[in-house]
């Protein structure tokens, strides 16, 4: 019965979304406050309906109701509860329900907390948001109904892809979708602004928190995905330039550009049409990402659905929204008056450079991902575009960007003194130099470029905090006063420093593991020993195990460092009888600076076990850096001037207005 309620709730949500789309839009056009105000309850009720549908689906998975086709196809009674809950989005239909669930959540949040928005803008934003809901609810109901019943119901389900039965991957889609769908907010604001023909600093102030929230979630989502790949796929890679990964990187790059250009718009009232275009592009790339993953155009572990009808439907949705928004843009953007003037060497100029390079990097990933599809569909030769292409195009664009990042915050608005900025970065440059030399001293046998990469990472970290140090006058006034100043620094300044520094931390991780990784691939009998990176591993035992829904072969390694016992490591090879699939469960010992990574394989005829051991120096920094970046986003989000929705107390608002922003 819950399934029928869920199905009905989805239909009801569609009807409400239709009302939410057309009534407020018309109301804003004829300036009727009553009609405009309908947007708020509509958005809230739409969310409640979709939440009910989502809960109904959760209920079906949790109690293993195999009379529902989706549950029978994707679940199994013996599956642990956590994966039953996460199993809802481990398939096409359920993941689309999660998509609209998050979409309507964003809509409801704007409806409830957007009290400071002008009525007409709020009505139009919610109307655009409603129209996205209409499209995807229709898509779900027509092509991907999750509530279809089976009669007779099978006795047991056919299980979930074992690769997806993992805590990292199970929590990856909600973050990723919060990011993807979060950009719909920026999109709705952009389209609403184009309809009104007005974009100003306050518009940017309303858009920024939503973009920041989406960006932070997407950052964490991408990190979870790459971390999962690292420990699951069994050879320690963390980024493969797989089209599905690129699909999440594209909106991230565009969203990063949008965050920066929105700052210019907010502080200086210029770059209006460019910022609006970026807002449209960021969500368009999210939609294209959804299309790539959901249509089955690319078959990979992620694309569990290969139904051309669905791909075609998403393609139509994409064309409608992207085409519609861009046409509106072409028509209305000339209305947006260019704002204040500024010199090329200025904060504005630096942020334009940031946007130029990020846009080019986005283009490199976009072209590389879609070119083989395009060429194939035009009847051209079949080609593969893999990591070597992205290394040759994306890399050279991003490197100069990384190098100039620390300069940005030191440049003044309107007209800046580059020499003064460089001078304030002297300490950071010296730190970077020292770190580079130290890296060379330790690893002079490795690739000679690696110490330079490490130095670049150190430059990013030291440079990012140089600005904070400068602003709190560290070491130039008594430490106590510096600390006091640090407490009063706007949170957004801390957020900027953290996000930029996180980039440096990630870079150091990438360089370290690329340049100095060690590996041993060998076959050893029980009692055999492997030496790597200062560690010694003794294969003590290999035994069989039975898990909740799998059987495993587990190797027990006794690890010692410098002759002293350190830990046991137990890599497994798992067999899932229901799904008839094998997976590797790697064993990783980390000290947060380097990883020891062990994988066990098959036994050969001479009773020797094939074993792969990797020593991955600095690799944890990749994800630590991304988490720092995401934390920076969160800190920025808590800045009182950007606090999502909640109206700030009058006093602090006045204070905030009196303070220059950054």
Partner 1 sequence: MRRFFLALSLLLLMAGHAYAIDPGEALNDPALEGRARAISSELRCLVCQNESIEESHADLAKDLRLLVRKRVLAGDSDQQVLDYVVARYGAFVLLKPPFEPATWALWFGPLGLLICGGLGVFLFFRRPRREAQAPLGADEVEALRRLTGPE
Strand partners, 584: 573
- Pick 56 or 507: Cβ nearer partner 1: 507
Alpha helices in 418-525 (DSSP H): 418-424, 426-442, 449-471, 479-488, 491-516
Q: Please choose, from the candidates 279, 195, 285, the residue with its C-alpha nearest in 3D space to the C-alpha of residue 247.
A: 285
Scan residues 312-371 and list those touching partner 1 (CB under 8 A): 341, 344, 352-353, 356-357, 359-361, 363-364, 367-368, 371
DSSP strand pairing (581-585 vs 572-576) = antiparallel
Query: What is the smallest separation between the CB atom of 565 and partner 1, expressed in angstroms?
Result: 26
Q: What angle separates helix 308-318 from helix 272-295, to the nearest 10 degrees?
A: 170
Q: What angle separates helix 92-113 from helix 2-30, to the nearest 10 degrees?
A: 40
Query: What is the smallest separation between the CB atom of 2 and partner 1, expressed in angstroms?
Result: 37
Q: Residue 392, interface with partner 1 (CB under 8 A)?
A: yes
Question: With CB under 8 A as the contact rule, which of the stretches 159-167, 324-332, 388-396, 565-573 interacts with partner 1?
Answer: 388-396
Scan residues 122-141 and list those touching partner 1 (CB under 8 A): none
Token readout for 406 is: 């620390």
- Pick 218 or 450: Cβ nearer partner 1: 450
Token readout for 280 is: 């449209």
Q: Residue 522, interface with partner 1 (CB under 8 A)?
A: yes
- Pick 22 or 389: Cβ nearer partner 1: 389
Question: With CB under 8 A as the contact rule, which of the stretches 80-88, 540-548, 608-616, 633-641 interacts with partner 1?
Answer: 608-616
Among 447, 478, 525, 534, binds partner 1 (CB under 8 A): 447
Give the integer Cα–Cα distance in Å for 379 and 383. Answer: 12
Q: Residue 647, interface with partner 1 (CB under 8 A)?
A: no
Matching residue, tokens 């008839």: 580
- Pick 316 or 399: Cβ nearer partner 1: 399
Q: Residue 404, interface with partner 1 (CB under 8 A)?
A: no
Among 52, 277, 510, 613, binds partner 1 (CB under 8 A): 510
Q: Residue 399, interface with partner 1 (CB under 8 A)?
A: yes
Q: What angle separates helix 491-516 from helix 620-637, to the nearest 10 degrees?
A: 170
Q: What angle separates helix 272-295 from helix 324-332, to the nearest 10 degrees?
A: 170
Query: What is the smallest separation between the CB atom of 124 and partner 1, expressed in angstroms?
Result: 29
Scan residues 254-313 and list those touching partner 1 (CB under 8 A): 298-301
- Pick 112 or 399: Cβ nearer partner 1: 399
Give the integer Cα–Cα distance in Å for 18 and 29. Answer: 17
Q: Residue 532, interface with partner 1 (CB under 8 A)?
A: no
For 246-257, b/e burial (b = at least 16 CB within 10 A) is bbbbbbbbbbbb
Q: Residue 575, interface with partner 1 (CB under 8 A)?
A: no
Among 157, 236, 409, 617, binds partner 1 (CB under 8 A): 236
Query: What is the smallest separation between the CB atom of 252 and partner 1, expressed in angstroms?
Result: 15
- Pick 6 or 349: Cβ nearer partner 1: 349
Decide if 349 contacts 357 (C-beta within 8 A). no
DSSP string computed for 252-280: HHHHHHHHHHHHHHHHHS--HHHHHHHHH
Among 44, 515, 598, 624, binds partner 1 (CB under 8 A): 515
Q: Residue 382, interface with partner 1 (CB under 8 A)?
A: yes
Backbone dihedral angles phi then psi of residue 152, each to the nearest 5 degrees: -75, 155
Question: With CB under 8 A as the contact rule, which of the stretches 215-223, 397-405, 553-561, 572-580 interacts with partner 1?
Answer: 397-405
Q: Residue 395, interface with partner 1 (CB under 8 A)?
A: yes
Give the integer Cα–Cα distance in Å for 116 and 590. Answer: 48
- Pick 113 or 470: Cβ nearer partner 1: 470
Matching residue, tokens 């199970």: 170
Q: Residue 407, interface with partner 1 (CB under 8 A)?
A: no
- Pick 327 or 522: Cβ nearer partner 1: 522
- Pick 47 or 390: Cβ nearer partner 1: 390
Q: Residue 521, interface with partner 1 (CB under 8 A)?
A: yes
- Pick 429 or 520: Cβ nearer partner 1: 520
Q: Residue 576, interface with partner 1 (CB under 8 A)?
A: no
Q: Residue 175, interface with partner 1 (CB under 8 A)?
A: no
Q: Residue 375, interface with partner 1 (CB under 8 A)?
A: yes
Among 219, 393, 549, 594, binds partner 1 (CB under 8 A): 393
Which burial class, exposed, middle or buried, applies to 78 when counting CB atoms under 10 A from its CB (0-12, 13-18, 19+)?
middle
Task: Please list the helix, strand and coil fractions of the chain in percent, rounded to the nearest 5, in that order.
Answer: 65, 10, 25
- Pick 14 or 303: Cβ nearer partner 1: 303
Among 385, 405, 460, 537, binds partner 1 (CB under 8 A): 385
Matching residue, tokens 């920041």: 212
449-488 footprint of partner 1 as x/- string (CB under 8 A) = xx-xx-----------------------------------
- Pick 43 or 357: Cβ nearer partner 1: 357
Q: Residue 525, interface with partner 1 (CB under 8 A)?
A: no
- For residue 161, how many other CB atoms are within 10 A of its CB? 17
Q: Please choose, from the candidates 418, 410, 397, 408, the residue with its C-alpha nearest in 3D space to the C-alpha of residue 469.
A: 410
Decide if 574 contacts 544 (C-beta within 8 A). no
- The CA–CA distances, whole Å, from 478 to 282, 465, 472, 474, 486 equal 45, 18, 10, 8, 13
Longest dimension (CA), the chain: 84
Q: Residue 239, interface with partner 1 (CB under 8 A)?
A: yes
């Amino acid at each position: 019965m819950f399934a029928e309620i869920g199905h009905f709730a989805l239909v009801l949500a569609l009807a409400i979304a239709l009302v939410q789309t057309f009534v407020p839009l018309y109301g804003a056009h004829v300036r009727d406050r009553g009609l405009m105000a309908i947007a708020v309850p509509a958005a809230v009720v739409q969310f409640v309906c979709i939440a009910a549908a989502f809960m109904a689906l959760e209920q079906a998975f949790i109690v293993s109701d195999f009379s529902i086709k989706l549950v029978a196809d994707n679940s199994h009674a013996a599956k642990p509860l956590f994966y039953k809950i996460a199993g809802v989005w481990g398939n096409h239909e359920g993941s689309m329900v999660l998509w609209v669930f998050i979409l309507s959540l964003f809509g409801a949040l704007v409806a409830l907390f957007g009290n400071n928005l002008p009525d007409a803008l709020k009505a139009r934003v919610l109307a655009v948001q409603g129209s996205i809901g209409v499209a995807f609810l229709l898509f779900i109901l027509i092509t991907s109904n999750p509530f279809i019943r089976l009669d007779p119901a099978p006795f047991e389900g056919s299980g979930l892809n074992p690769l997806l039965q993992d805590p990292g991957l199970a929590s990856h889609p909600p973050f990723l979708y919060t990011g993807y769908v979060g950009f719909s907010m920026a999109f709705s604001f952009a389209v609403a602004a184009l309809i009104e023909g007005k974009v100003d600093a306050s518009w940017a102030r309303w858009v920024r928190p939503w973009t920041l929230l989406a960006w932070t979630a997407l950052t964490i989502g991408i990190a979870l995905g790459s971390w999962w790949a690292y420990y699951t796929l069994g050879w320690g890679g963390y980024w493969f330039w797989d089209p599905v990964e690129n699909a999440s990187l594209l909106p991230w790059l565009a969203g990063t550009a949008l965050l920066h250009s929105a700052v210019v718009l907010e502080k200086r009232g210029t770059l209006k049409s460019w910022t609006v275009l970026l807002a449209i592009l960021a969500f368009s790339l999210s939609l294209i990402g959804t299309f790539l993953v959901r249509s089955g155009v690319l078959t990979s572990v992620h694309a569990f659905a290969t139904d051309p009808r669905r791909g075609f439907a998403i393609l139509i949705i994409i064309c409608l929204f992207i085409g519609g928004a861009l046409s509106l843009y072409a028509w209305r953007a000339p209305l947006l008056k260019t704002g204040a003037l500024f010199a090329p060497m200025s904060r504005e100029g630096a942020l334009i450079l940031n946007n130029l390079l990020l846009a080019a990097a986005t283009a490199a990933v976009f072209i590389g991902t879609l070119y083989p599809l395009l060429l194939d569909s035009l009847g051209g030769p079949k080609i593969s575009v893999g990591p070597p292409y992205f290394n040759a195009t994306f890399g050279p664009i991003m490197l100069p960007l990384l190098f100039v990042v620390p300069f940005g915050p030191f440049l003044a608005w309107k007209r800046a003194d580059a020499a003064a900025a460089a001078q304030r970065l002297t300490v950071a440059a010296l730190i970077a130099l020292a770190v580079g030399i130290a890296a060379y001293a330790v690893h002079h046998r490795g690739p000679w470029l690696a110490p330079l990469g490490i130095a670049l990472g150190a430059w990013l970290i030291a440079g990012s905090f140089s600005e904070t140090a400068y602003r709190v006058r560290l070491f130039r006034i008594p430490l106590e006063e510096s600390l006091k100043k640090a407490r009063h620094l706007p949170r957004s300044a801390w957020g900027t420093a953290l996000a930029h520094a996180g980039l440096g931390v990630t870079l150091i991780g990438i360089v370290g593991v690329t340049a100095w990784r060690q590996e041993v691939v060998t076959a050893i009998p029980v009692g055999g020993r492997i030496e790597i990176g200062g560690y010694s591993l003794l294969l003590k035992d290999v035994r069989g195990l039975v898990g909740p829904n799998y059987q495993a072969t587990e190797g027990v390694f006794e690890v010692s460092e410098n002759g002293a016992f350190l830990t046991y490591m137990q890599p497994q090879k798992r067999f899932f009888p229901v799904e008839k699939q094998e997976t590797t469960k790697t064993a990783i010992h980390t000290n947060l600076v380097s990883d020891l990574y062990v994988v066990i394989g098959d036994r050969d005829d001479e009773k020797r076990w094939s074993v792969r051991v990797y020593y991955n120096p600095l690799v944890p920094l990749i994800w630590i850096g991304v988490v720092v970046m995401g934390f920076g986003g969160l800190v920025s989000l808590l800045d009182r001037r950007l606090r999502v929705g909640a109206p700030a107390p009058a006093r602090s608002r006045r204070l905030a207005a009196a303070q220059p922003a950054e």
